[in-house]
Every structure is written in structure tokens, then in C-alpha cells.
Amino acid sequence: MKKILLFLLLLSITFCYNQMPVSASTKSRATYEKTGHVIWDINTKEKMVAITFDDGPHPVFTPQILNILAKYNAKATFFVAGNKVKRFPEILRREVKEGHEIANHTYNHIYDRNITAATLTAELEETDKLIQSIIGYKPTLYRPVGGLYNDLIINTAVKNGKLVILWSWNKDPKDWQNPAASRICRDITEEVRPGNIILLHDWHGSEFSQACQTVVALDTVLDFLYKNGYKCVTVSEMLYRSNTQFPEPFDPFH
């Protein structure tokens, strides 16, 4: 009887241990960049940048952003959350109709460096399936929630056919905190360089929020960029025009 109880105790301990999250190792940025699977900046001399928006679509702010982008004939990449897409599919359709790029930002926006491969795969697949049902194809670009990355997150993304897109480290104005529009403008326009990937957010607060400094700042940012000879393109277009070598069999245009 004691042997049976001891066996059951050891079995229980082993099961609990196996269920505990295991921290995946994280390599240097240079190491990941050499693989071609993770992008922070794009090497180009052509005066172009990629403006990206995370966490949407938002029923109020995303249409306002689309109006401003249209004013300057600027194209952007929207890293959308599946749970928002499900609620506002018509905005996703508008983004595609107006020439913008759709990318995967998971379904439930789980902020967890120790997310399991199974959970991340489910998040990516559910978002892909939903996006495909609305616009007819699955996105090939993916941005980890909060920019968190490690071997497990990157390897899981690659196994799911994704290219991981982060952003230029000096082009994150932390607009999700809703700072003044002037600060957002300054952080983006100061020392802007060809190949920069700019991080912004089109979801702030709740769907009922009515004030967004990102929207206020965007017109000024685009005016500055175009007056200084920059063109705003999608991430995939900038990759393609820079002759970036993609890891096989990756295809940024599906």
C-alpha cells in the first residue's frame, strides 16, 4: 500500500512538473536576424518606411486612420487581433480594399513570454482562419504580442509559415499610453531613416473610446515624411523592393 501511495505521489509530482511553463532561451538580435526569420529594420537606401498598426481594428480610430492614410496615398500594415476582426470584419475589408496589408497579431492578444507552442499555434491558426474567411487569404507576417520573442515563439511562428516582424527600436513612441501627439510626432520623425519599421496602435482603451493621440499625430507625421521625400509602403513591399532574401519557402505575397 505504501509503495502504491509513493508511486502515485511521484506520478503526481511528475505531471505537475511537466505542466509548468518552461522559459525558452533567447538569442541575440544579430543571431535571429541572420536566420532571416525575424525583421527589425529593412536594409535599403530608398527613402521609404513602413508604418504598422497593432491590436485593431477599432470601430472609431481605424476608419479615421484609414482616411488620413488615403489623404497621403500612404500604405500601412495592420497587425490585427482575431477577436477584434471577428467583431469588425467590415473594417478589415476596407483595409484590404484600400491597398493596405493585413498581418497576424494572434487572436486573444496573450502577453506571455512563456506561452506554449500549442497555445501560440492555436492563436495563429484561429486568426489565420478568420482572416481568410473574410479576405480570401492568410497573412504571412506575424508580430508577437508586446514584441516578446524567444526561440519557442520564433520557431513556432516559422513552423506556421510566418515571418516575424518587430520594429525599429527607436521608432516606438509608446502611443498605446496615449501620450501627447507632439511627442508621438517627435519620436517618429527624429532621425528617421530609410527602412525604418514604425510601431503604432489603432486600438486604444475600449471600443467606446473617443480620443486617440495617434490619430491626431498621424497627419503631421505623414506630412513630414512626404515633404522630406519618404514614401510609406507596406512591410512586404519594402522587403520586396529592398531585395531581401527570404528563407525558403517563404513568400511575402502569398
pLDDT averaged over every residue in the chain = 90
Residue 9 pLDDT = 39
- pLDDT for 217-242, tens place per residue? 999 999 999 999 999 999 999 999 99
Q: Mean pLDDT highest for which of 10-24, 93-107, 204-218? A: 93-107
DSSP state of 147: G
What is the pLDDT at residue 225? 98
Confidence of residue 3 (pLDDT cuts 50, 70, 90): very low
Contacts of 60 (CB under 8 A, 6+ apart): 207, 209, 210, 212
> What is the model's pTM?
0.89
pLDDT tens digits along 142-165? 999 999 999 999 999 999 999 999
| Average pLDDT over every residue of 161-175 | 97
Alpha carbons 119 and 125: distance in angstroms, whole number: 10
Answer whether 196's CB lies under 8 Å from 168's CB.
Answer: yes
% the chain with pLDDT above 70? 87
At 19 the pLDDT is: 41
**Residue tagged 489623404 (cell numbers):** 71
3-state secondary structure of 249: coil
What DSSP letter does each residue of 54-80 carry, written as one string? ES---TTHHHHHHHHHHHTT--EEEEE
Assess contact for 81 and 56: CB atoms under 8 A. Answer: yes
Q: What is the rounded CA–CA span in Å between residue 16 and residue 12?
A: 6
First to last CA, the chain: 61
Q: Which residues pair with 49 in a beta bridge?
A: 232
Active site residue 55: no
**What are the boundaries of each domain within the chain?**
37-241
In the predicted structure, residue 83 carries a pLDDT above the cut 60: yes
Among 41, 54, 55, 219, the one annotated catalytic: 54
What are the backbone dihedrals phi and psi of residue 135, each rounded to the nearest 5 degrees, phi first? -115, -5
User: Which pLDDT score, from 0 to 100, does residue 13 have?
Assistant: 37
Q: For 37-241, which CATH class?
A: alpha beta
Average pLDDT over residues 15-36: 72
Catalytic choice (58, 201, 204, 219): 201
Please report where in the chains the cell 521608432 appears, as a residue: 171
* CA 107/CA 102 separation, integer angstroms: 14
pLDDT at 251: 60
54 is catalytic: yes
Nearest one of 146, 89, 144, 93 to 119, comparing CA atoms: 144
